[in-house]
C-alpha cells in the first residue's frame, strides 16, 4: 500500500504566537507568559516534520490561545477540569491564566477553532477522495519532566520514552505500527512506548470511529532529544533527529 501520497501531517502545538487581540485576556506578566510558552509549546515540531511534498496542517497560533486537540465542547473534554479545554484558563501549574467572558470564549471557538477544524477536515476529505485513504501523522513533542497538569489521579507515573506512538485501534493499521516501532527502535536506537505518556491521535470529528479509511498515528518526541528545555534552543542532536524523522517518511511510509 502506498501511504506516502495519502499522508496529512498535523502540527497543533508548535507556534509561540499570541496575537495582541488575545494577549489582553491573559492575567500573566510578560515574563510569566514567556515561561508558560516555554513549558507548553512543542518547540520546532513544525520544522522537524516539514517534509517536502506532503500536505500539512499547522496551527499558526499558540495552544495557549486555542488548543485544537481538545474537544470543542467543555462537556466532552476531560482536560477542562485542569483548565485546559479548547480554550485554556489555567497554566501548567494550575494558576489562573485567563479571565474570559462566555462571549469571548465562544468568539475564540467561532473564529479560531471552527475554521481550523474545517480546514483539517477539508484536507482529509481531499486526500480520501484522491487515494481512498488518509494517514494523519499527529506531530508533537513533550517535556522530559512531567508538568503538574499531567498528574494522574491515581498517582501513577507513565513512562517517558524517546518516542511516544499514540493511536486508537479503530484508526490504526497494525502493519504500519509495527514498522514504526521497528524503525525507531532498531534503526534509530530510540525507545518507544504505545500511548504513553499521552494517548490517542487526531482524527477529524466527522470521521472519528466512522471511517476506517482515516488512519491516525501520533508521533511525540521527548524534547530533551533535540533541544535545551530551559532555553528553547536546539541542541547538538537537532539535525540528527530531524533526519530520523525525515527518514521515517521515506523508509517506513514511502
**Contact positions toward Zn ion, by CB under 5 A?**
13, 42, 140
- For the chain, strand residue ranges (E) read 7-11, 55-58, 134-142, 163-166, 192-194, 214-222, 227-228, 233-234
- Identify the bridge partners of residue 96 per DSSP, sorted by sequence position: 90
Q: Which is nearer to Zn ion, 36 or 42 (CB)?
A: 42
Q: Which is nearer to Zn ion, 107 or 150 (CB)?
A: 150
* Secondary structure (3-state) at 201: coil
Interatomic CA distance for residues 234 and 26, integer angstroms: 28
With a CB cutoff of 8 Å and minimum separation 6, the contacts of 92 are: 36, 39, 40, 147, 148, 149
Q: Which is nearer to Zn ion, 5 or 90 (CB)?
A: 90
C-alpha cell at 224: 530533551
Q: Which is nearer to Zn ion, 133 or 164 (CB)?
A: 164
Q: Which is nearer to Zn ion, 7 or 45 (CB)?
A: 45
Interatomic CA distance for residues 134 and 220, integer angstroms: 20
Work out the number of other CB atoms within 10 angstroms of the CB of residue 175: 9
- Residue pair 186/199 in contact by the 8 Å Cβ criterion: no
Residue 73 CB, shortest distance to Zn ion, in Å, is: 20
Write out the DSSP string of 49-112. T--TTSEEEE--S-TTT--TTS-SSTTT-GGGGGTBSSSB-B-TTS-B-B---HHHHHHHIIII
The overall longest dimension of the chain from CA atoms, in Å, is 52
Q: Which is nearer to Zn ion, 133 or 166 (CB)?
A: 166
Residue 244 CB, shortest distance to Zn ion, in Å, is: 19
Residue 139 CB, shortest distance to Zn ion, in Å, is: 8
* Planar angle of CA 48, 50, 52, nearest 5 degrees: 145
Q: Which is nearer to Zn ion, 173 or 220 (CB)?
A: 220
Residue 42 CB, shortest distance to Zn ion, in Å, is: 4
Residue 120 CB, shortest distance to Zn ion, in Å, is: 15
- Residue pair 249/9 in contact by the 8 Å Cβ criterion: no
Residue 242 CB, shortest distance to Zn ion, in Å, is: 17
Residue 38 CB, shortest distance to Zn ion, in Å, is: 14
Amino acid at each position: 500500500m502506498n501511504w506516502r501520497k495519502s499522508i496529512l501531517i498535523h502540527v497543533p502545538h508548535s507556534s509561540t504566537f499570541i496575537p495582541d487581540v488575545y494577549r489582553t485576556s491573559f492575567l500573566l506578566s510578560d515574563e510569566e507568559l514567556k515561561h508558560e510558552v516555554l513549558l507548553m509549546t512543542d518547540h520546532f515540531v513544525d520544522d522537524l516534520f516539514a517534509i517536502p511534498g506532503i500536505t500539512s496542517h499547522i496551527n499558526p497560533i499558540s495552544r495557549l490561545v486555542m488548543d485544537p486537540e481538545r474537544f470543542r465542547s467543555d462537556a466532552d473534554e476531560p482536560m477542562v477540569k485542569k483548565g485546559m479545554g479548547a480554550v485554556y484558563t489555567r497554566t501548567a501549574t494550575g494558576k489562573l491564566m485567563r479571565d474570559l467572558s462566555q462571549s469571548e470564549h465562544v468568539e475564540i471557538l467561532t473564529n479560531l477553532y471552527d475554521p481550523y477544524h474545517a480546514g483539517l477536515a477539508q484536507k482529509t476529505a481531499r486526500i480520501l477522495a484522491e487515494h481512498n485513504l488518509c494517514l494523519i501523522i499527529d506531530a508533537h513533542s513533550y517535556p522530559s519532566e512531567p508538568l503538574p497538569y499531567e498528574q494522574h489521579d491515581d498517582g501513577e507515573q507513565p513512562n517517558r520514552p524517546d518516542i511516544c506512538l499514540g493511536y486508537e485501534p479503530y484508526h490504526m493499521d497494525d502493519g504500519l505500527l509495527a514498522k514504526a516501532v521497528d524503525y525507531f527502535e532498531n534503526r534509530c536506537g530510540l525507545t518507544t512506548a504505545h500511548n504513553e505518556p499521552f494517548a490517542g491521535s487526531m482524527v477529524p470529528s466527522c470521521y472519528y470511529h466512522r471511517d476506517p479509511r482515516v488512519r491516525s498515528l501520533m508521533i511525540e518526541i521527548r524534547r530533551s532529544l533535540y533541544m535545551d528545555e530551559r532555553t528553547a534552543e536546539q541542541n547538538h542532536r537537532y539535525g540528527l533527529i530531524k533526519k530520523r524523522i525525515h527518514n521515517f517518511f521515506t523508509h517506513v511510509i514511502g
